[in-house]
A and B are shown apart, each in its own frame.
Chain A
Amino acid sequence: MAAPVLALEGLEFQWPGRAGFALQVPGFQLLPGETVLLLGESGSGKSTLLPLICGTLLATRGTVRVAGTDLADLSGGQRDRFRAEQIGVIFQQFNLLPFGTVADNILLPLRFAPDRRRRAGDGRARALMLCRALGLPEAVLSARAGTLSVGQQQRVAVARALIGEPPLLVADEPTSALDAGTQAAFLDLLFEQARACGSALLMVSHDPRLAARFDRVLQMEDIAHSKRGGA
């Protein structure tokens, strides 16, 4: 069996303050190329779990390994660069810098990740290819991101997450801002491109209707225990 692209072990995190929210993840693994849907209502701890995986939060106890590296071994600056190198992030909405061009937005993670920039090769050509594959018109590259429709913006966010083929994609309800018809088309493109890039996909959502497409579907409660308040 291949080494997991993401491994959580005995993870514990407690927000500072007496009433701080606490999250525990005894064990979770994501294999290369695997697609996993993590279902959870708001308040189930996903907005704590994702920053822990991405390294903007540091676990109080336990380990987070991404592509074999323990995030706790890295300094703050190293974690930032590591995130740029290894992880593509897609948010619910407001993914893009509205004043920048689409090309600038797509190429932004490469700016902070020299290895990923090397993997991407000619960044602009790769961005254009991704845009085309995601059904975006070519002219969109030089348009300002703020002028695009929400659906187009989400697809640009996918292109940005996939450029340079990071081993792990983390998506936080990427379809919640889209209507039902666009959702399906968007997910088709996302899965197709993630597979083409060989990236594993961890998606967090509250919508069980998405479940059918994923290799595995987990409930947040299955892998994590959360506590609110000082108990």
Chain B
Amino acid sequence: MILRLAIASLFARALTVGMTILAIALSVALFLGVEKVRTGAKASFADTISGTDLIVGARSGAVQLLLYSVFRIGNATNNITWESYQDIAARPEVKWSVPISLGDSHRQFRVMGTTTGFFDHYRYRQGRALALRDGAVMTDLFDTVIGADVAATLGYRLGDPIVVAHGLASFAEHKDQPFRVAGILEKTGTPVDRTVIVSLEAIEAIHVDWRSGAKIPGQTTSAEVLRGMDLQPKAVTAVLLGVESPLRTFALQRAINDYPQEPLLAILPGVALQELWGIVGIAETALLAVSAMVVVTALIGMMATIFSSLNERRREMAIFRAMGARPAVILALLVLEAVLMAACGAGVGLGLLYAGLIVAQPMVDSAFGLWLPIEAPTLRELWVMGAVVCAGAIVSTLPAIRAYRLSLADGMMVRT
């Protein structure tokens, strides 16, 4: 009956109680939303590359190798010779290998030379394969496959000619070899979206007339002659490897790191991604802290509402007292009300979160490549909601103690 009376009392003050619940709900939805985006971003980040067991590059740092080979940020300090690549690819533990060659650019986007194996083996977001939205993978020397962002930003369609620049600055463009768009990839939310993919041989072809980063004066090799040349690369930037058995991964990694002919580095992408997340994840933690403050603000708002309602409710408390309620009952009643409000707020907040997810999920996915799964509340989310209810109970003890004192002094008669 006390619970029923508490609920009835809340309903009687529907407007202020509703506003309080709304404030808590919004703050809880914000907090859970930030949490969702945070875990989603972390998962998306960790899912940038999957299915690849090892990434091999010239010896440098693990994060640096990950940055240039997967995220196309920064440059390789050194290359891997073609012979070393062949050696490693031929090892019995290796199931598949995809060499990649970086260093050229098209407008603001990086150009990556690779084999068609890249499209077979590159996986993202829990094992999804790359898919072509339009066209096909490279068949000709001058074919390119472009990522979704490249196509969207530059307005490219199938068959459009594109020019590849040597190095990253575009002052020295390889004007003499016109590439064309052969395929456009679906959006993935990974750096592949911002990459122009060509064949390894194409990278060689671009550089036939170049020495040490400068064009050899007067020398121009026509496309036809290039097609006839032996364009086997002398070096690659990095290699993505798949192993026959996961158990062999560490042995292979050690073998590559100890490769005597050349200083090489093999990294586990997952481990390096985690290391990198440790660096970029700080901003998201700050965001989470801010939204936690919003929840605290909403709860303090509730406390203020309860405080300001005490005076007009002294008569109600006097009735309870006259009927034989101990002052502790008054205290419990107010805490109970706060718990009910906080629980409603948390529940409505969760509802708002799901409503927001249903509306925003496809938009966020296509705009940021961020996949926010709609699933049953995680244990962590339930903990958050429980914590909100507990915090509601805790902050309400202050006005409840005041009510306790008031009702002890007032007794069953309100003196004004």
- Asked if B387 is at the interface (CB within 8 A of a chain A CB), the reply is no
Q: Are A104 and B324 within 8 A (Cβ)?
A: no
**Distance in Å: Cβ of A146 to nearest Cβ of chain B:** 8
Q: Are B319 and A112 within 8 A (Cβ)?
A: no
- Asked if A136 is at the interface (CB within 8 A of a chain B CB), the reply is no
- Asked if A50 is at the interface (CB within 8 A of a chain B CB), the reply is yes
**Distance in Å: Cβ of B1 to nearest Cβ of chain A:** 6
Given the interface contacts A76-B326, A95-B319, A113-B324, does A51 sit within 8 Å of B9 by beta carbon? no
Interface of A is mostly: helix
Given the interface contacts A97-B9, A99-B5, does A47 sit within 8 Å of B322 by beta carbon? no
**Distance in Å: Cβ of A96 to nearest Cβ of chain B:** 7
Contacts of A112 in B (CB 8 A): 323-326, 329
Contact with B12, one of A47, A57, A98 (Cβ below 8 angstroms): A98
Docked Cα-Cα span, A80 to B12, in Å, equals: 27
Q: Are A104 and B319 within 8 A (Cβ)?
A: no
Q: Are B1 and A54 within 8 A (Cβ)?
A: no
Q: Are B8 and A56 within 8 A (Cβ)?
A: no
- Asked if B211 is at the interface (CB within 8 A of a chain A CB), the reply is no
Docked Cα-Cα span, A101 to B9, in Å, equals: 11
Docked Cα-Cα span, A56 to B324, in Å, equals: 10
- Asked if B2 is at the interface (CB within 8 A of a chain A CB), the reply is yes
Interface of B is mostly: helix
Given the interface contacts A100-B8, A104-B4, does A84 sit within 8 Å of B411 by beta carbon? no
Given the interface contacts A77-B326, A97-B9, A97-B316, does A47 sit within 8 Å of B413 by beta carbon? yes
Contacts of A99 in B (CB 8 A): 5, 8-9, 11-12
Q: How many residues of B contact A (CB 8 A)?
A: 25
- Asked if A111 is at the interface (CB within 8 A of a chain B CB), the reply is yes
Contact with A85, one of B4, B322, B324, B412 (Cβ below 8 angstroms): B324
Contacts of B315 in A (CB 8 A): 94
Contacts of B413 in A (CB 8 A): 47, 50-51, 56
Q: Are B323 and A109 within 8 A (Cβ)?
A: yes
**Distance in Å: Cβ of A117 to nearest Cβ of chain B:** 11
- Number of chain A interface residues as a range: 20 to 34
Q: Are B321 and A104 within 8 A (Cβ)?
A: no
Chain B residue nearest in CB terms to A95 = B319
- The proximity string for B residues 1-20 relative to A, scoring 1 for CB distances below 8 Å and 0 otherwise, is 11011001101100000000
Contacts of B325 in A (CB 8 A): 80, 84, 112
- Asked if A107 is at the interface (CB within 8 A of a chain B CB), the reply is yes
**Distance in Å: Cβ of A185 to nearest Cβ of chain B:** 24
Contacts of A108 in B (CB 8 A): 1, 5, 319-320, 323
Q: Are A81 and B324 within 8 A (Cβ)?
A: yes
Q: Are A111 and B9 within 8 A (Cβ)?
A: no
Chain A residue nearest in CB terms to B321 = A56
Q: Are B323 and A54 within 8 A (Cβ)?
A: no
Q: Are A56 and B412 within 8 A (Cβ)?
A: yes
- Asked if A214 is at the interface (CB within 8 A of a chain B CB), the reply is no
Q: Are A57 and B11 within 8 A (Cβ)?
A: no
Chain B residue nearest in CB terms to A98 = B12
**Distance in Å: Cβ of A194 to nearest Cβ of chain B:** 18
Contacts of A84 in B (CB 8 A): 323-325
Contact with A104, one of B5, B316, B322, B329 (Cβ below 8 angstroms): B5
**Distance in Å: Cβ of A80 to nearest Cβ of chain B:** 4
Identify 6 new A-B residue pairs, CB closer than 8 A, beyond the known A54-B322, A54-B412, A57-B411.
A80-B327, A83-B324, A89-B322, A97-B316, A111-B2, A112-B329
Chain A residues close to B by CB (< 8 Å): 47, 50-51, 54, 56-57, 76-77, 80-85, 89, 91, 94-101, 104, 107-109, 111-113, 144, 146, 160
9 contacts between A and B (CB under 8 A): A51-B412, A51-B413, A89-B322, A94-B315, A95-B319, A99-B9, A100-B5, A108-B323, A112-B329
